Amino acid sequence: MEIKIVRKVLEENESLAAKVRAGLRERRQSMVNFMSSPGSGKTKILERLIPLLTSGGLKVGVIEGDITTSLDAQRLQPLGIPISQINTELFGGDCHLGAHVILAALEQFAKEPIDVVTIENVGNLVCPAEFDTGADLNIVVLSVTEGEDKPLKYPLMFRNSHLALINKIDLAEAAEADICKLKENMLKINSSLAVLETSGKTGRGIGELAQYIVRTHRQLLNEYTIKIANNEKTARP
Ligand X SMILES: Nc1nc2c(ncn2[C@@H]2O[C@H](COP(=O)(O)OP(=O)(O)OP(=O)(O)O)[C@@H](O)[C@H]2O)c(=O)[nH]1
**Using CB under 5 A as the criterion, which residues of the chain lie in contact with Mg ion when the complex forms?**
42-43, 72
Minimum separation from the CB atom of position 167 to ligand X (A): 5
Q: Are 94 and 131 in contact (CB under 8 A)?
A: no
Minimum separation from the CB atom of position 114 to Mg ion (A): 20
Q: Is 171 in the site for ligand X (CB under 6 A)?
A: yes
Q: What phi, psi does 105 have (nearest 5°)?
A: -65, -40
What DSSP character marks residue 28?
T
Give which of Mg ion, ligand X, none residue 80 binds (C-beta under 5 to 8 Å, depending on kind): none
The CB-nearest residue to Mg ion is: 43
Q: Is 200 in the site for ligand X (CB under 6 A)?
A: yes
Give which of ligand X, Mg ion, none residue 170 binds (C-beta under 5 to 8 Å, depending on kind): ligand X
Choice from 25, 127, 155, 170 touching ligand X (CB under 6 A): 170
Q: Is 167 in the site for ligand X (CB under 6 A)?
A: yes
By rule CB under 6 A, what count of residues binds ligand X? 17
Q: Is 168 in the site for ligand X (CB under 6 A)?
A: yes
Single-letter amino acid, residue 156: L
Q: Is 115 in the site for ligand X (CB under 6 A)?
A: no
Q: Are 81 and 62 in contact (CB under 8 A)?
A: yes
Choice from 38, 57, 78, 92 touching ligand X (CB under 6 A): 38
Minimum separation from the CB atom of position 31 to ligand X (A): 18
Which of 16, 53 has the CB closer to Mg ion? 53
Q: Is 128 in the site for ligand X (CB under 6 A)?
A: no
Q: Are 105 and 86 in contact (CB under 8 A)?
A: yes
d(CA 83, CA 63): 6
Q: Is 123 in the site for ligand X (CB under 6 A)?
A: yes
Pairing of the two strands 194-197 and 137-143:
unpaired
* H-helix or E-strand spanning residue 189: helix 179-189
- Alpha helical stretches, state H, the chain: 2-26, 42-55, 71-76, 99-108, 127-130, 150-153, 155-159, 179-189, 206-235
Residue ranges that bind ligand X, judged by CB under 6 A = 36, 38-44, 72, 123, 167-168, 170-171, 199-201
